[in-house]
Structures are given as structure tokens and as C-alpha cells.
Structure 1
Amino acid sequence: MNKWGVGLTLLLASTSVLAKDIQLLNVSYDPTRELYDQYNKAFSAHWKQETGDNVVIRQSHGGSGKQATSVINGIEADVVTLALAYDVDAIAERGRIDKNWIKRLPDNSAPYTSTIVFLVRKGNPKQIHDWNDLVKPGVSVITPNPKSSGGARWNYLAAWGYALHHNNNDQAKAQDFVKALFKNVEVLDSGARGSTNTFVERGIGDVLIAWGERSAVGDERTGQR
């Protein structure tokens, strides 16, 4: 009995020594906060079950371009999950990650996708249905700043693509359309979360241009769609 008791004690002691406490930092862009909050918990539980190690994942969120700059300037990220390949490439160019990062994981290292949608006030009082409605006089648009937000650049490209498609690929007309659209932008926040808060919490704007999952957050909080 004593022999087995000693053996069990040694086994438990050995297991406790082998188990590690691991801390990771995920530097990500604005709209992913809720996603990774849930995913990190599930991953930590899975890793604990598989290895016995305790994993704590910290999150840093902001405009994708600003987050890339933070990593370039020395923030010690273990993982970067940004909105644009361009931002990840900027980090790779500084030698912080492998330049061939895009081929390291399946689907060109893009684990999920989204689409660009409009979130309008309840009842859609301005009757906003398509991109052309965003350039009408008196329509107040909310979108993040493309200089700092990856999501905003996708918004910009979606508007540009619409304008090209409806103007026989005339780039001058597409440029005029995007200029007219941004003249109607009332607030240019630095990231998608800031724009959602401007639209939802501050009540500014008639329409928010956003990724599908970010508009769902606003929809849950306000009942608007």
C-alpha cells in the first residue's frame, strides 16, 4: 500500500512539474474582439485537456494598420490576426515574421471571410438600399478611416468595385463616386469598433458601412438593421 502511495505521489508531483503556464498575445484588428474572446476560451480548454498546460491568451485590438505599426515598433506579439495581407506583409518586410507567411496555413492563411453590409436606422427612414443611395444629398455616412483601419479599406474597395461595375470600368467615374461618398462621411473613426460606437452609442449617421459580423453587433445592441 505504501509503495503504491509513494508511486502516486511521485506521479502527481511529476505531472505538476511538467505542466506549464503559457501566456500568448494576439494582436488583432477592431472587429474580432468578441470572436477571439470566445475562441480563446475554447482553445485554452482544449489545450489544457490535450497537454495539461495552462494557456492565457491576451488580446490587443485596434485599426489594422495601427496594429501592424505597433508590432513593427516592438510590441511582442505571439500571433497577429489582421484585416489585410498588406498589413501582415509590412511586418514581414521588417523581419518580424517569415515573408512566406501567406503559404504557411491553408486558404492563404485566411481562416474566415466576411462581406460589406449597411446598417441603417430602424425603419430605414432615408430609404438606403444600395451604394448610390450613400452619395445622395443629406445622407450621413459612417465608416472608419482607410488610413488606419483594414475594414475601412475593404469598405473603400467595395465602393470602388461597385462604381467600376456600374460605369463600364471607367476609373475616373469610380474616383468621382468614391469622392462623393466620402464627402457624406460625417465621422472618420480610426477603427471599425469606433465607427460602430459612433453610429450606435452616439446616434450619429444614417448608415454605417461595416463588415457583416460588425453590423450584427450593432443590430443586437439597437434592434436596427
Structure 2
Amino acid sequence: MKRFLLGVATLAGLFLLASSQAWSADKLLNASYDVGRELFAQVNKAFVAEHPGVTIDQSHAGTSAQARAIAEGLGADVVTFNQVIDIDFLVSKGLISADWQKDFPDNASPFYSLPSFLVRAGNPKNIKDWNDLVRDDVQVIFPNPKTSGNARYTYLAATAYAKEAFKGDDAKVKEFVTKLFNNVPIFDSGGRAATTTFVQREIGDVLITFE
């Protein structure tokens, strides 16, 4: 498999304390986005090494699904999402303060990422850019934008590409994005599940995911 890094810069991590949730100094729950499982396993290990006696549990799913779970009672102490709107959803529910971005450096955005194209070995469909994703012979894998921040960034990046390619012609932009979505055979709930669909189930010709 080979990766192509394409598209617009995307927000890849947001950190905050869910201040209204009760939490114990020796046990924390990090509710995080779907593809961050291994990353936070390492981050948590480093944190625990500096704070003996602390245990960190992890909960992973698409960020929108996580936000709804927290609003419905998931007792998260730390939230690490990949898009602002899901954190603002928690603000609207009164679970965190409206000025949460001021609590951490860099407006609580520790790093950025680009959308990546992951293709089959040898790139047999010769996929090189967004316009290749709307071909009739190409199946594209990315998760459901209703539940995944990863997928929303894919939608935004594809739209930005189309706006430039079609010089702002909204009808052609809509047609392009519609064709792209019609080429997705399965809408998984999150980026991790979409990766499993592409890599392990071997469905699709290209996976769009975080860098």
C-alpha cells in the first residue's frame, strides 16, 4: 500500500477537561476519536509514569458519537476530539465552558494533519488526486460524516478541491461531491472501522484518512 498526502490541513486533536464531570485524582477516562487508540496508549503511559498511582481508561469512537455519549452520561474526564463542532456540542449541553480553547496552548489544538490517500499495492487504479475518486471504476472508503470528524474533513477537503477545480460553480461542486459519496460502498461509523474495511476486509480501491 502507498499513501498520498493531499487536500487541506485538518485539525487532528483537541484537548480539554470536561470540567463538569466528577473525577477522581487516581482514575481518569479519556473519551477520544476513533483512530487515536494507539497514540493515546503511548501518551497515557508517559503521563502515568510521571503521576504514579493514576489510572487512565480509554474510550474510542467517532467524535460525534462520543460527544452524544458524553451528553447522555458517559463520565469522561478528558476529551480529545478531532473537530471543534463536537466540543461545541458539549458546550451547548453545559458540560464545558464556552472559552475552553483558552485552557490550553495553541487554542487547544496541539497538531494538524492532512487527508491521506491509501491505495492498493502498486496503485493499480492509478489514483493520484481527488478527480480520480469520482471515476466509475473506483470505490472510495471513508466513514460516515454524521458520526466521524475524519469523514467531515474528507467532505470539506473534497469540496475545497471542487470549488477550485470548477472555479466556484456550485452546481458542478455539488455534482462532484455527490459522485464521490456515491462511490463509497460502506459508510462505517468511524475512521478505525473504515481502515479495517479497507485493509482487512479488502474492500475499496482507496482509503481517505488522517495523515
Task: Please state which band the TM-score falls in when normalised by the shorter chain.
Answer: 0.7 to 0.9
* 1:164–1:204 distance in 2 versus 1, CA, 3 Å: same
Percent identical: 51
Paired with 1:104 and 1:174, the residues of 2 have a C-alpha distance of 38
Choose from 34, 48, 51 the match for 1:47: 51
Residues paired across the two proteins, number: 188
Which amino acid counterpart does residue 81 of structure 1 have in structure 2? T
Higher RCO, Cα 8 Å, sep 6+ = 2
Alpha-carbon distance, 1:21 to partner? 6.6
- The correspondence of residues 187-202 of structure 1 with structure 2, limited to 5 A, is 187-202=186-201
Secondary structure class of the residue paired with 2:31: strand
Alpha-carbon distance, 1:194 to partner? 0.4
Query: Which deviates further from its counterpart, 170-179 or 126-135?
Result: 170-179
Alpha-carbon distance, 1:190 to partner? 0.4
Secondary structure class of the residue paired with 2:26: strand
Per-residue CA distance 1:56-89 (angstroms, 9 max, x = gap): 1100000110000001111111011111100000
- Which residue does the alignment assign to 1:138? 137
- Which residue does the alignment assign to 2:83? 84
The normalised TM-score by structure 2 is: 0.87
- Which residue does the alignment assign to 1:128? 127
- Which residue does the alignment assign to 2:26? 22
- Which residue does the alignment assign to 1:223? none
- Which residue does the alignment assign to 2:99? 100
- Which residue does the alignment assign to 2:41? 37
- Which residue does the alignment assign to 2:166? 167
5+ residue gaps, structure 2: 1-23
**As a proportion of its length, which structure holds more helix?**
1
* 1:21–1:95 distance in 2 versus 1, CA, 3 Å: closer
Paired with 1:211 and 1:21, the residues of 2 have a C-alpha distance of 33
Paired with 2:155 and 2:100, the residues of 1 have a C-alpha distance of 25
Which amino acid counterpart does residue 87 of structure 2 have in structure 1? V
Paired with 1:59 and 1:111, the residues of 2 have a C-alpha distance of 19
**Root mean square deviation of aligned Cα:** 1.1
Paired with 2:57 and 2:174, the residues of 1 have a C-alpha distance of 41
Paired with 1:99 and 1:76, the residues of 2 have a C-alpha distance of 19
Which amino acid counterpart does residue 195 of structure 2 have in structure 1? T
- Which residue does the alignment assign to 2:57? 58
Which amino acid counterpart does residue 88 of structure 1 have in structure 2? I
Q: Which has the larger radius of gyration?
A: 1
Per-residue CA distance 1:156-202 (angstroms, 9 max, x = gap): 10101100111112222211110010111111100000000000000
Secondary structure class of the residue paired with 1:123: coil
- The correspondence of residues 148-187 of structure 1 with structure 2, limited to 5 A, is 148-187=147-186
Which amino acid counterpart does residue 64 of structure 2 have in structure 1? G
Q: Any runs of at least 4 consecutive aligned residues in structure 1 with deviations exceeding 6 A, and if so which?
A: none
5+ residue gaps, structure 1: 1-19, 49-53, 213-225
The normalised TM-score by structure 1 is: 0.81
Paired with 2:162 and 2:180, the residues of 1 have a C-alpha distance of 11
